[in-house]
Structure 1
Amino acid sequence: MSDHTSEESRPEKSPERSAPAGPDGPAGPAARPQDPPPEPPGAVPEPPRIPAYAHQGGQQRPPNPGQPRRTQAPAPARSLLRAAEPAAMRTATLWSVLATAVLSASLLGDGLGPNLLIIAVPAALGAFFAARAAGRRLRPWTAFWAVGGLALLSVPALRDAGWPTFLAVVSAVAMGSLALHGSRSWLGVFLGSIGLFGSIAGGLGWGGRGVRERTAASRGRLGVAFRATAVAVVLLIVFGTLFASADAAFADVLGNLVPDVSVSSAPWRLFLFVLGLIGALAAAYTAAAPVRWDGVTVGPGKSRGRLEWALPLIVLDLLFAVFMAIQLTVLLGGYDKVMAETDLSYSQYARQGFWQLLWATLLTLLVIALALRWAPRGRGSDRTLVRGVLGVLCLLTLVVVASALRRMDLYVDAYGLTRLRLSVAAMELWLGVVLVLIMAAGVFGARLLPRAVAASGAVAVLAFGLISPDGLIAEQNVQRYRQHHSIDIDYLRGLSADAVPALDTLPEPLRSCALRDIERLLRDTDEPWYATSWGEVRARDILRKRALGDPAGACGSVRTGGEGGERGGDGDDQYDPYDPY
């Protein structure tokens, strides 16, 4: 490709000076256009003609198709997946990262609550500014992952229980990482959900370069900003102390708003500052130069013949059909007939097969994945065969899911709801949703299936946290007590503050026995507003309005044995109803 700017600056050649005429004319063999004409004595030599692109910041010269290409060393695999190194960090991104680090050190040291949402806002803004500087556009799936991650962080702000909070925070990090990477394939969605951790080293280097560039260009302004900030902090400390000592109400409000930073907590606060800094830098660096994990591909498996592929799956379908027929017989004939024929108690039959059915569901998903990898692909009718066989398998597996959930329902009705029982039932229900998505992909196409499965998992975790698992457990056990006069107070008193509204409806002395430990924990902890969940605030308000009785003497009369009474259970069942399962 010619450069028009350089061509205009060249002197025009006249036809007479192009080449001397030979015996065959200007184009004859005697003409030698490759040799320059002789220069007259004393003439100034013409400077070499340098194209314009050689002067433009050292840019590389366009390749000449007439010359052989030079072989270059192969680039590392990670450099092929990650886009080019981003430009220098902009001021908006830098301030967002610093705000995230300061808020992490100030708010995270007292617990989890609304502070996670507060810290996530500047971190998200830093990633947004970095992505906009890199020219990235906001796409619908990116917005979905980002909004989903922020919604998951609302669970710690609403619920006091630690186990749904842990699931929500982990899922929020995964959703944020997916929003920054934007993956589509199965492997891309999996690696994209954890790919944020791979940007830690690159983000630190990128942030260091951005700070050096700004300090070198604006040393005077940084000094002014530092002095102004120092004076403002001193004024706030002096006058804030005076006003706090002058008015107790102002001191109480100020104590709730301002984090309690002491010398003993300085190492912990420093760790949280570094943690927030690293996380915000990694997010901004990923937004500016994401890794295209979709480039990591796994080749399709070897296609199998129809008989070799379909025969094992058809046999499995028949096995599932027999199981479904037996389950329908049980539903029509009643559980009493089955228990009479098998010599099993009500609770034994309920708990006997749940775990087996859960594993059957998981293994079926693995079988479907392997079957799709080795499915026949030779003829057009192979696709119909694959859809038919796997569609029937998914449909029959949904019956297995329904049977497992029914057995768990029977067991919960007999012995009450616990955290583990609720968790595995929710997992079984989500596996059923995944099976429905696989069946839909067989009809409408599998292009959106990886992202749909990830989105369903995020929605399931969000719903699990919002329904208040501890509150649901307490409510179900209180309802069982009203019907069967059977309750496990020892287990319920170990729940979180989310269970207080339901436990508060129990009659005395059960109410005081169930709330004793929760009330003591709330009384001994005085967390600031940003580390206090709504469930904890509601529990404090309930316990403040209605004080507990004398639990020390009252709880001694409550039975906690394993055979009936306040604990529940069948008299002929030697199995402990409140073991880990």
Structure 2
Amino acid sequence: MAQHVERQRYWEAQQAARQAERLARKRARSIDWSAALRPVEPVPIRTETLIAALASGLIAALLLGDGVGPGLLIAAVPAVAAAYVAARAAGRRPRPWTLVWGVGSLALLVVPALRESAWPSTLAILAAIGLGALALFGSRTWPGVLLSPLGLLEAAPTGVRWAWQGVRARRTGNARNVWPVVKAAGVGIALLVVFGALFASADAAFADVLGGVVPDVSVSDGPVRVALFVLGVVVALAAARAAGAPLRWDRVTVAPGTPRSPVEWALPLVLLNLLFAGFIGVQLAVLFGGYGNVKERTGLLPAEYARQGFWQLLWATVLTLVVIALALRWAPRSGPRDRRLVRGVLGALCLLTLVVVASAVRRMDFYVHAFGLTRLRVSVVTMELWLGVVIVLIIAAGVFGARWLPRAVMASAGATVLALGLLSPDGMVAESNVGRYTEQGKIDLAYFQSLSADAVPALDRLPEPLRSCALRGINDDLADEGEVPWYGMSLGDRRAREILRERPVKASFETCAGLGTFRSRSEY
């Protein structure tokens, strides 16, 4: 009995020692991990960076209070300058991929200046943040690409603290050099205000030009302007802080999975390939044969047949990418034979998935032909096409190597969002439906009431009273907005106002109601 008690105590002591050792290793790993992310402290903030951050905040306060348009791009330029100065002060030099991310981020901010529709502009702003984070942190691995935007959240408070330390250092040790600059800026602003007011009162034409260029700031929107100023300064400082001392997200490593045996790994994927091949054989015989072939073989109208499977095929494409990622994690990698097996099995799966992508797009073509184009259908087809591009990139990575794959996928995502914004989804929807009316005499006036001003040029080609009824909702929205200054007005908004000013909406409420303009409408 005593021996049993001793063994039990010895076993418990061993377990406690092992547990303590595991905790110590885990704590050491976490310390090393955090230290590896930020290897050096940033250099003191430069005066140019502070001035650029203040300029970004001032522009944001003056231009963004009346809407997002060209003002957002203008406010972003000083933030980019602040980041560039901070990076140069830290000894960082722009590399080709850094320039790609920077130019791509600014290009995406052009979309809100061109398009009035909110959803492509929102996607463009989010994509610009993602590409901007890649430019600041220089990430190239999957963990780095996915985690880089989180670094901006960390850089916001540390950037403010970094700027405050720089201001305190200048106030105590270099005030004589800073104070003349402050006085000169104050005198210059005072002179502009005084003489600008005098010239505006002396000449009505100059007053009109000045009123169109200078933001109209009132006391009532003061809190909003202050909040925008703070936001602009914080964002610029965060970008500069990240550029001067970036978190090294590429040092976050993911341990590879345990390799499986060739049979255990390949057999499920071979079966999946056979299933894909059988499905594609049916698609080649039915769906790609044309409208009449679909009805003959299935007894369904092409639109009904297409509606049955599009969403399933979209999810099948997404899940295939997940399967490929997991398969690569557990792939056998003991020699050249295993590598050939991985390339052959996954390459066949990727090629078959491309046919599934084509089948999904073909189904949507049937559906649009029957019921017209909508925002939802534009967005999901764009998503499906981008997934096809990702699969093509995976195939290329299997042939040429995968070091560039994370950055290529992100670049393709940014390019897709940019192309979507430049093509104007609402304009495409209106153009397609106007063409459908010309060919088939079918039109859904109720759906046009939810479109943005980007759709006005296409809808303007409809005959009356369809034109006025189609434009009625957009016209009311623009009237409710009132006059918008140039820095808050997109190009689509400006063109729509000019068209509606030259050719106003004329049809009465009763006429439009009789044409079904105000009935409820679902995108489905």
| TM-score normalised according to structure 2 size | 0.91
Residue 168 of structure 1: aligned partner: 124
CA separation of 1:103 and 1:242: change in aligned 2, threshold 3 A: same
Instruction: Note the alpha carbon deviations across 1:50-69, whole angstroms, 9 max, x for none.
Output: xxxxxxxxxxxxxxxxxxxx
CA distance in 2, matches of 1:494, 1:186: 39
Q: Please give the secondary structure, in 1, of the residue aligned with 2:268.
A: helix
CA separation of 1:304 and 1:500: change in aligned 2, threshold 3 A: same
Residue 35 of structure 2: aligned partner: 79
CA distance in 2, matches of 1:538, 1:83: 51
Letter in 2 for 1:427: M
Residue 421 of structure 1: aligned partner: 377
Moved more, 336-345 or 451-460: 336-345
CA distance in 2, matches of 1:556, 1:75: 68
Letter in 2 for 1:185: T
Quote how far apart the aligned CAs of 1:75 are: 4.6
Quote how far apart the aligned CAs of 1:561 are: 10
Say whether residues 1:480 and 2:441 are aligned partners: no
CA separation of 1:242 and 1:521: change in aligned 2, threshold 3 A: farther
Residue 206 of structure 2: aligned partner: 250
Residue 310 of structure 1: aligned partner: 266
Quote how far apart the aligned CAs of 1:353 are: 0.3
Quote how far apart the aligned CAs of 1:263 are: 1.4
Residue 400 of structure 1: aligned partner: 356
| Contact 1:516–1:551 (Cα < 8 Å) also in 2 | no
Letter in 2 for 1:420: L
Q: Alignment partner for residue 75 of structure 2, among 113, 119, 136? A: 119
Q: Please give the secondary structure, in 2, of the residue aligned with 1:142.
A: helix
Quote how far apart the aligned CAs of 1:250 are: 2.4
Once the two structures are superposed, the pairs formed by residues 104-503 of structure 1 within 5 Å of their partners are 104-331=60-287, 334-503=290-459
CA distance in 2, matches of 1:580, 1:478: 17
CA distance in 1, matches of 2:149, 2:173: 37
Letter in 2 for 1:293: W
Q: Please give the secondary structure, in 2, of the residue aligned with 1:353.
A: helix
CA separation of 1:478 and 1:288: change in aligned 2, threshold 3 A: same
Once the two structures are superposed, the pairs formed by residues 43-58 of structure 1 within 5 Å of their partners are none
Quote how far apart the aligned CAs of 1:535 are: 1.3
Quote how far apart the aligned CAs of 1:347 are: 2.2
CA distance in 1, matches of 2:339, 2:190: 74
Percent pairwise identity:
59
Say whether residues 1:534 and 2:491 are aligned partners: yes
Say whether residues 1:102 and 2:64 are aligned partners: no
| TM-score normalised according to structure 1 size | 0.82
Say whether residues 1:579 and 2:496 are aligned partners: no
CA separation of 1:579 and 1:553: change in aligned 2, threshold 3 A: closer
CA distance in 1, matches of 2:493, 2:517: 28
Q: Please give the secondary structure, in 1, of the residue aligned with 2:143.
A: helix
Larger radius of gyration: 1
Quote how far apart the aligned CAs of 1:331 are: 4.3
Instruction: Note the alpha carbon deviations across 1:125-158, whole angstroms, 9 max, x for none.
Output: 1111111111111100011000000110111111
**Larger RCO (CA within 8 A; separation ≥ 6):** 2
Q: How many residue pairs get matched?
A: 496
Letter in 2 for 1:351: R
Gapped runs of 5+ residues in structure 1? 1-71, 563-575
CA separation of 1:250 and 1:333: change in aligned 2, threshold 3 A: closer
CA distance in 2, matches of 1:515, 1:332: 37
Quote how far apart the aligned CAs of 1:111 are: 0.7
CA distance in 2, matches of 1:543, 1:334: 41
Instruction: Note the alpha carbon deviations across 1:192-232, whole angstroms, 9 max, x for none.
Output: 23321221121111111111111223334544444444444
Quote how far apart the aligned CAs of 1:461 are: 0.4
Q: Please give the secondary structure, in 2, of the residue aligned with 1:438.
A: helix
CA-based RMSD of the aligned residues comes to 2.0
Quote how far apart the aligned CAs of 1:348 are: 1.4
Residue 509 of structure 2: aligned partner: 552
Q: Please give the secondary structure, in 1, of the residue aligned with 2:55.
A: helix
| Contact 1:174–1:194 (Cα < 8 Å) also in 2 | no
CA separation of 1:523 and 1:560: change in aligned 2, threshold 3 A: closer
Gapped runs of 5+ residues in structure 2? 1-27
| Contact 2:470–2:517 (Cα < 8 Å) also in 1 | no
CA distance in 1, matches of 2:289, 2:385: 26
CA distance in 1, matches of 2:59, 2:114: 20
Letter in 1 for 2:522: D
Instruction: Note the alpha carbon deviations across 1:326-348, whole angstroms, 9 max, x for none.
Output: 01111465444543554433321
Quote how far apart the aligned CAs of 1:260 are: 1.6
| Contact 2:70–2:490 (Cα < 8 Å) also in 1 | yes
